[in-house]
Structure 1
Amino acid sequence: MNFTKMHGLGNDFIVVEGESKLPANAAELAEQLCNRFFGIGADGLVYILPSEKADFRMRIMNSDGSEAEQCGNAIRCVSKYVYDNGLTDKENITIETLGAGVQQVQLKVVDGKVESVRVDMGQPILNGLQVPTTVDANPVINHSIEVDGREFHFTAVSMGNPHCVIYVDDAVNFDLNTWGPKLEVHPLFPRKINVEFVTVRSRDFTDMRVWERGAGPTLACGTGACATVVSSVLNGFTDRTATVSLKGGDLLIEWNEADNHVYMTGPASEVYRGTL
């Protein structure tokens, strides 16, 4: 199996192209290959597959073997891969995802290589039961949640995958490893949850750290950045266009008022190639 190691702001993936469908042992492979001590090491295993609805199809296996419905950093990596490797010569492409349907992608090409990617991430889902949470409200804003005697307040957003956004005084130094895994599996979230801890710095800038469902702490989360801006607008903290600063770098997010779609712009990088 040939693979390419790629990352979007440090959120790293093993990218595989050439399969006709998702292998039956994809979950087992993800656990083995994503192991950072006994495998290649990555947050996820990503397959680029044929699609009947779009130019390409993307399937993402988390490092724990579970499947992710969508991933903003992975879709940028896939977009760069297909163009840089000559699978398409179009600078506007479509990619089919499991949880968010077909997404429109614009490529910024410099000297024949993709430098940055702008993705139409679609409309956010704000109905609590559809995110899903067990909270029957639309939207779910500043809702109380208690873990081990500590109370937090979250806003729920789905970008094709579920997120809860929690505002804290210092996201950069927040104790992610203590509270992230406990919130991920809280009974309020029937399919588990991605957790974003956020500090708003200005109307157009936030710090964010993420605990990803099925992967744990990662350097960046594209859908989480989108959920952060949507949540921050709903709470009156930011404007509709804002930079989200993650541990691995910054993403520009716009929640467009005209079409209600969220647009994410950021880089993707190839690290190396190998054969198993």
Structure 2
Amino acid sequence: MISAIQSHGSKNNFIIIDEKDIQFKPSDEARAAWTKKLCVDTQTDGLLFISESVKAQAKMRVFNSDGSEASMCGNGLRCAARYIAERDQVESFEVETMKAVLHVEQVDELYGDIPTYSVEISPVLFDLESLPLKLGQKKQLILEPVPEWEKDCLYTAIAVPNPHVITNVPVEMINSDSQEKLATSFNSENEWFTDGVNVSYVVELGEGEFFVRTFERGVGFTNACGTAMSSSSLVQVLAGKWRPGVPINIFNDGGRVKCVVHGENDQYDHIDLIGNATFTHHLELTLSENGEAAILKSNETNEDKIYEKMAEASKEYLRNVQPELKLRQN
């Protein structure tokens, strides 16, 4: 039996498992099987596996609910950062992820007493091979139309290193089935994305304020996607709708975060994603080498009640500034 934590960043839900508590060395097949089983049992989006690192304070691996491994997860990294910070009694440190070592730190609360962390999102890659995306002879896709996808939209493709396609849309389009159809096609057999892609629709709310909804590969629609919100913030800078170095408010179906895009002269090296890291349950699990997993005990914390106050305040704000926007209930 081992202890674990059920958590969320912007209502993107994860179970955190510290591999030092596992009595055997798990295989990736076991990790994938545990993830699929436990995500169904707890209605979470993925598992975060914390292990030792020779490059950083700790290492984080992310497995999606379908058992696939993601190269990064911004919302998950905030949750992992809090776990590592409290375990090791540190406030500012680095975490190793699949493709980068990223800086994380505890920062002032966004709202009330909600534990809040800033995490680095990088690298920022625009070459289409990084996604990968096959689009004729194009090397990049930045604020350009792709008529075969959806007319009247300008698309940007970014890997951070998770692959993203982002477009700003009117509210009636984000309320339609356009995004689901497009994202489903990109994550099925198709001529453009061999490994699938995250698809985000963005609605401008006001100066420095945007709403982002993401269909995540391997998951589907979630309340929020950290790397998507970060990438979407960068797109607003590229489009001249916001400025680098200045916090931008990003609303989502699960609440809100802040992002800061770092760079100048069209050279952007990283983005800060700032938001909650909420622990909702303390779990007791059994995990077996053959992939079996079970929850023996689940004790709820009171932290989510505080977060819900912020989430409701965000929803009320959205109802006032964009009453036509239909929020999803995941």
Match of 2:89 in 1: 89
Tell me if structure 1 keeps the 8 A contact 2:131–2:197: no
**1:249 partnered with 2:252:** no
Match of 2:53 in 1: 51
**1:225 partnered with 2:234:** no
Tell me if structure 1 keeps the 8 A contact 2:120–2:271: yes
Tell me if structure 1 keeps the 8 A contact 2:141–2:155: no
**Bigger radius of gyration:** 2
Match of 2:77 in 1: 75
Secondary structure of the equivalent of 2:263? Answer: coil
Equivalent residues in 2 for 1:34-49, closer than 5 Å: 34-35=39-40, 39-49=41-51
Structure 2: distance between partners of 1:247 and 1:103: 26
One-letter amino acid of the structure 2 residue matched with residue 273 of structure 1: H
Q: Which moved more, 1:123-132 or 1:15-24?
A: 15-24
One-letter amino acid of the structure 1 residue matched with residue 263 of structure 2: E
Structure 2: distance between partners of 1:163 and 1:145: 18
Secondary structure of the equivalent of 1:257? Answer: strand
Match of 1:262 in 2: 271
Match of 1:208 in 2: 212
Q: Deviations over 1:211-253 (max 9, x none)?
A: 0010111001110011101122222333334211111111111
Offset of residue 172 of structure 1: 5.5
Equivalent residues in 2 for 1:139-178, closer than 5 Å: 139-144=141-146, 146-147=148-149, 150-151=150-151, 152-170=153-171, 173-175=175-177, 176-178=179-181
Structure 2: distance between partners of 1:188 and 1:143: 15
Structure 2: distance between partners of 1:142 and 1:251: 27
Offset of residue 4 of structure 1: 0.9
Tell me if structure 2 keeps the 8 A contact 1:168–1:197: yes
Structure 1: distance between partners of 2:105 and 2:249: 19
Distance 1:137 1:265, change over 3 A: same
Structure 2: distance between partners of 1:29 and 1:143: 41
Q: Deviations over 1:20-45 (max 9, x none)?
A: 7653311111111111xxx1221001
**1:12 partnered with 2:13:** yes
**1:31 partnered with 2:30:** no
Tell me if structure 1 keeps the 8 A contact 2:140–2:157: no
Secondary structure of the equivalent of 1:200? Answer: strand
**1:120 partnered with 2:84:** no
Offset of residue 74 of structure 1: 0.4
Structure 1: distance between partners of 2:139 and 2:145: 10
For structure 1, list consecutive stretches of 5 or more residues without a partner in the other structure: none
One-letter amino acid of the structure 2 residue matched with residue 57 of structure 1: K
Q: TM-score, normalising length from structure 1?
A: 0.88
Tell me if structure 1 keeps the 8 A contact 2:59–2:97: yes
Distance 1:51 1:22, change over 3 A: farther
Offset of residue 139 of structure 1: 4.7
Q: Which moved more, 1:217-226 or 1:176-185?
A: 176-185
Distance 1:2 1:114, change over 3 A: same
Q: Which moved more, 1:171-180 or 1:54-63?
A: 171-180
Task: State how many pairs are aligned.
Answer: 266
Offset of residue 167 of structure 1: 1.8
Aligned-pair RMSD on alpha carbons? 2.2
Which structure has more helix as a fraction of its residues?
2
Tell me if structure 2 keeps the 8 A contact 1:83–1:114: no
One-letter amino acid of the structure 1 residue matched with residue 142 of structure 2: V
Which structure has more strand as a fraction of its residues?
1
Secondary structure of the equivalent of 1:51? Answer: coil
Distance 1:45 1:5, change over 3 A: same
Tell me if structure 1 keeps the 8 A contact 2:131–2:163: yes
One-letter amino acid of the structure 2 residue matched with residue 183 of structure 1: F
Secondary structure of the equivalent of 1:27? Answer: helix
Distance 1:131 1:140, change over 3 A: farther
Offset of residue 254 of structure 1: 1.1
Offset of residue 114 of structure 1: 7.7
Distance 1:22 1:94, change over 3 A: farther
Structure 1: distance between partners of 2:141 and 2:123: 14
Q: TM-score, normalising length from structure 2?
A: 0.75
Tell me if structure 1 keeps the 8 A contact 2:166–2:232: yes
**1:132 partnered with 2:129:** no
